[in-house]
Amino acid sequence: MFPSRLALAALICLAPAAASAQAAAERAFVTALLNQLQDRSFAENREYCGYIGFDGSGRLTSGPVARGQMDSCEPQWPDNLDVIASFHTHAGFDLEAYSETPSSTDMEGDEADGVDGWVATPGGRLWYIDSTDMVTSQICGIGCLKRDPKFRPGVHGEIRQSYTYNELLRLEGN
pLDDT at 96 over 90: no
How many residues make up the chain in this entry?
A: 174
pLDDT at 97 over 90: no
pLDDT at 6 over 70: no
Mean pLDDT along residues 127-156: 96
Q: How far is residue 95 from each of residues 122, 150, 154, 166, 170, measured CA to CA in Å?
A: 11, 10, 11, 24, 19
Range scoring the smallest mean pLDDT among 4-13, 39-48, 101-110, 133-142: 4-13
pLDDT at 7 over 80: no
* pTM, two decimal places: 0.87
pLDDT tier, 98 (very low <50, low <70, confident <90, very high otherwise): confident
Q: How far is residue 46 from each of residues 38, 104, 160, measured CA to CA in Å?
A: 10, 19, 25
pLDDT at 84 over 90: yes
pLDDT for the residue 21: 67
pLDDT at 92 over 70: yes
pLDDT for the residue 122: 98
CA atoms within 13 Å, Cβ hemisphere of 116:
16
pLDDT tens for 50-70 read 999 999 999 999 999 999 999
pLDDT at 8 over 80: no
Every domain of the chain and the residues it spans: 8-171
pLDDT tier, 143 (very low <50, low <70, confident <90, very high otherwise): very high
pLDDT for the residue 69: 97
